Amino acid sequence: MRKIARLLSFLSAILSGLTLLRPSKDWPMWLMLPKPFAAAMTPLLAVAGGLGALLGLLHRDRRAVRAGLFGAVVSLTHVKRVTAPHDGFAAAFGPDWHAQIPAGLQARMLPKRFIPLPPDPPSARWQQDVVVGTHVESGDPLLADLWQPPEDVPPTGLAAIYLHGSGWHYADKDFGTRRFFHHLASQGHVIVDLAYTLAPQARLKAMVADVKRAIAWAKENGSEYGVSPERIVLMGGSAGAHLALLAGYTPNHPELQPADVETDTSVHGVISFYGFPDIAAAQDHFQEYHGDWMTGKTAQERRLIERITAYFHRVGFLPPDSPFVSAADMLPGLIGGGPEEAPELYALGSPIRHVGPHCPPTLQLQGAHDVGGMMDDVRRLHQALRAAGVPSVWVEFPNTDHGFDLFLSKWSPAAQAATHDVERFLALMI
C-alpha cells in the first residue's frame, strides 16, 4: 500500500504542478505539451492526491503525505479559480441579463460552471458531409457536418457555424468537439461544423470566403432546419476563432466578400476560443518564442518531422501532399509572407483593425497561460469593442493553456466553465 500511496501522491503532485508553469521563450516547447491534459485532469488529480496522502498517513510515509497534499491543494485551487463566477454578462448585457433567456431554455442549461460528475448530454442528430457551397478557386465542394436538436427538443432558430483550430494548416471538422456539439444541439441550436479549405491550398482571403459562403448558405437554407437568417453566430477555436472574428467583423467587405455570394454576410454574434485578434503581433510572438521549434535545423529533427508528417497524413490531421508547418511558418503560409513583406494583408487579416459599432456581440474565452501569446491582444480587443459600444464578454481562465476545451472535455473544469458561458451567450442571441 505504501507504493500505491507514493504513486498516487507523486503523480498528483507532478501533474498538478504542471498547471503552474507559465510559457517562457527560454523553455523548450515540448515542456508545455502535457499542461492542457494536466489541467483537464485536476478534479481526478485532487482525488488521487487526497487518497495518496491518506494512505501515506496510515503508513507513516511523510513523503507521500506531503506530495499528496500538495497535489490535492494545487488541483482544488485550480478548479476553484477556473470555475469562479464572473460579471462579464452583466457588464455586457445589463444586470437583468438572466431574465432575457427563455425559461424553457434555461432548464436545459448547465446549472453550474463545474459539475464533478457531469451527465452526458442527449444525443443530437448528426448529418455528415453536407455540401454548403463550392470553393470557386479550386472547384472543390465546401463540406460541413450538421448537428440538429433531438426530435423532442424545440428549435431555437439559432445556428452556430463552427470553425476548427490547428494553425490554418491542420485538422478538419469533427475535431474533438462531439460532446460540445451534442450539448449545444440538445438545447435546440443547429451547429454547422465547417471544413474550410486549409493553407497552402487556400490563403487568407480564400479561407474567409469559405466562411462567408457558409454564412450565406445558412441564411438561404436555414429554414429547412428551423434556423432564422437573423440568428447566425460564428464560433471557433484558435485559427478558427481568428477566422470567426475576422468574418464577423467584416460583413460584405469588398476585399473579403466572395464574388459568388450576393447574400448579406453579417452575423448576430461571435464566440472566440483563444482566437488571434492581431496576426502581426501573433507572428512576432511565434517568431520570438517558437522560431527554432521543429524547423528542421538538424538531421535528427528532419527525420522526426518526416515521421510526424507521415503520421499526420495517415490519420487525416494534415491534408494529402501538404507539408509539416512549424509555428513560426503558419502565418507566413497563410498570408504569403511575413509582416514586413505584406503589412497590408496582416492589417486586413487582423480582426482588431475592423472594430466598430457594426461589430456583433462577442464572447472571448481565453487561457491566461496561452502559448499563443495573444493575451494582451484579447484584452485590447475587448476594450476596443466596449469603447465602440459593442456588447463584449471576456472570460480569462487562470493557469490555463491553448486548446483547453479539447482535452478530456467531460471532466475539464475550464471546458465545463466555457460551455456554461457559451450556452448563455447563445441564449442571449435568440
CATH code, domain carrying 362: 3.40.50.1820
Per-residue model confidence (pLDDT) at position 289? 86
- Boundary-marking domain end, from 82, 113, 147: 82
Same domain, 155 and 274: yes
Q: Please say whether the beta carbons of 392 and 428 come within 8 A.
A: no
Q: pLDDT tens, position by position, for the chain (430 residues)?
A: 788 998 999 999 999 999 998 888 777 677 678 999 999 999 999 999 999 999 999 988 999 999 999 999 999 999 999 999 999 999 999 999 999 999 889 999 999 999 999 999 999 999 999 999 987 777 889 999 999 999 999 999 999 999 999 999 999 999 999 999 999 999 999 999 999 999 999 999 999 999 999 999 999 999 999 999 999 999 999 999 999 999 999 999 999 999 999 999 999 999 999 999 999 999 999 999 888 888 878 888 899 999 999 999 999 899 888 999 999 999 999 999 999 999 999 999 999 999 999 999 999 999 999 999 999 999 999 999 999 999 999 999 999 999 999 999 999 999 999 999 999 999 999 9
Whether the bond into 277 is cis, omega within 30 of 0: no
- Boundary-marking domain end, from 30, 63, 82: 82
How many structural domains is the chain composed of? 2
Domain-embedded: residue 297: no
- Boundary-marking domain end, from 29, 55, 82: 82
What letter does residue 201 receive in the DSSP assignment?
T
Per-residue model confidence (pLDDT) at position 194? 98
Domain-embedded: residue 301: no
Element (H, E) at 50: helix 42-58
Same domain, 133 and 99: yes
Same domain, 103 and 74: no
Same domain, 95 and 137: yes
Same domain, 78 and 127: no
What letter does residue 393 receive in the DSSP assignment?
E
In this structure, is the dihedral angle defined by the CA atoms of residues 17, 23, 26 and 32, taken in order, positive or negative?
A: positive
Same domain, 127 and 78: no
Same domain, 70 and 97: no
Domain-embedded: residue 310: no
The DSSP-derived string for 80-99 is: HHHT----HHHHHH-TTGGG
Same domain, 20 and 96: no
Domain-embedded: residue 18: yes
Per-residue model confidence (pLDDT) at position 91? 97
Domain of residue 68, residue span = 2-82
